Amino acid sequence: MKIGKKEVLEKLVEFNVPFKTFFEHGTLSVEAYKPEKVDLQQPHSRDEVYIIISGSGEFLNNGERTTFIPGDFLFVRAGIEHRFENFTDDFSTWVIFYGPEGGEKA
């Protein structure tokens, strides 16, 4: 199976939504996310991975701020406050949720 970034970004525009699920299998869920100006997301109940599709900006993860560019991998544990800030207009990212509610155990 293949899901291309062009197809994904076109679907977000077509449905006029900032995020959409494109694949699910077991506990795995793959979405695309393209917020407009402000990232309003709240902590999630499962572990989460972001892989930046396009754009750049800053990512706040549990109080720690870092910059990001296309291709970067970002991990967020379940229940942790996080958000994208100061991002460019072309910012978009893959969002990958996996594992049990409450996150994986170390």
87 lies in some domain: yes
Domain range holding 61? 5-98
**What integer is the mean pLDDT of 93-101?**
97
Confidence of residue 1 (pLDDT cuts 50, 70, 90): confident
The residue among 73, 27, 33, 19 whose CA lies nearest residue 47 is 27
Residue 13 pLDDT > 80: yes
Query: In 3-state terms, what secondary structure has residue 8?
Result: helix
10 lies in some domain: yes
* CATH label of the domain that carries residue 67: 2.60.120.10
The residue among 73, 66, 76 whose CA lies nearest residue 44 is 76
pLDDT of amino acid 106 = 76
pTM (predicted TM-score): 0.94
Confidence of residue 47 (pLDDT cuts 50, 70, 90): very high
